[in-house]
Amino acid sequence: MADLLSYFENIPKEYRTIFLVGGLSFLTLLESNFPLLNFQYKKIKHISLNLFFTLTTVLINLAGASLILYASIQSELLGFGLLKFLDLPLVFEILVGIMFLDLVGAWLVHFLEHKVRFMWRFHIIHHTDPFVDASTGLRHHPGEAIFRLTFTSLAVFLSGASFGIVMLYQTLSVFFAHWTHANIKIPTKFDFILSYVFVTPDFHKVHHHFTLPKTDSHYGNIFSLWDHIFNCSIKNYKIQSIKYGLDTHMDIEETRNIKTLLLIPFQKYRAPRGSKFSA
């Protein structure tokens, strides 16, 4: 396990890029052969749009990598963090570290993006995708990328996780971002059983339904445990009834225009059906 952490602590950026692109390419291939839904859309054009937002996210994360490293170093220097207090065997330290990073750095910030109006304005872009597939996983406004970077750094400091654990978590997080949005057909029973612990494609698709209350549920990234523990999961959902998009932004021309999408957070707020904030 020590060798595994050492590998991820020193993994070259080129390898991480290959992993990201390779994972996306593999899932895209699966989507073409085993689709959950048969979308009538130009797949290459759709992926290209989402890759633009992926690029902006990557650039912000590269610029903010020093913040994550700083959080890790400060935690180490101060001897501060959950893992320092627990003093676990290495294998459990890795597991608890990944789970804590997932809870604070992914689940909590995602939950707040749905509960804080200012943050929701930026998160809207992710929900406007009418054709949820593997590329949707990294369709985030640059402003939202800053939110997530901040919470990831906070999680690193509070957990006291080593840089190797952080990089392992980041790699898993990228994979799950693609995997949980992939438009692939999975055996229902297998998906259901796995979703008790991990976020699966069917489990996460509920979150992309176009209206409340489904939109405000299933916030998990890697572990679905948090949704079950904090009562944020919907029971007995039917994946066939899910309609993608967001009721306030259903105009297809608007949701595939980069300039329009970038400006949505700064436009007049549109209140969705339900009681999510006020108009």
Q: What is the pLDDT of residue 21?
A: 80
pLDDT, tens digit, 9 for 90 and up, residues 155-173: 999 999 998 999 999 999 9
Residue 258 corresponds to which tokens in the numbers above? 């980069």
Q: Which of 147, 144, 146, 137 is nearest to 265 (CA)?
A: 144
Q: What is the pLDDT of residue 278?
A: 62
Average pLDDT, the chain: 91
Per-residue pLDDT tens over the stretch 115-145? 999 999 999 999 999 999 999 998 999 999 9
Which run of H or E residues covers position 175? helix 163-179
Q: Which two tokens stand for residue 265?
A: 């957070």
pLDDT in tens, 67-125: 998 999 999 899 899 999 998 999 999 999 999 999 999 999 999 999 999 999 999 99
> Torsion-angle region of residue 244: left (phi > 0), alpha (psi -120 to 50) or beta?
beta
> What confidence tens digit (pLDDT) does each residue in 239-249 have?
888 999 999 99
CA 105 to chain centroid: 10
Radius of gyration of the chain (CA): 18
Residue 98 near residue 8 (C-beta atoms within 8 A): no
Q: How far apart are CA 131 and CA 256, in angstroms?
A: 11
What per-residue confidence (pLDDT) applies to 136? 96
Q: Would you state the pLDDT for residue 182?
A: 96
C-alpha 126/C-alpha 140 separation (Å) is: 5
pLDDT over threshold 90, residue 64: no
- Please give the average per-residue pLDDT across 142-153, as a whole number: 95
Do residues 249 and 124 make contact, with C-beta atoms less than 8 angstroms apart? Answer: yes
Of 272, 27, 234, 23, which Cα lies nearest the Cα of 127? Answer: 272
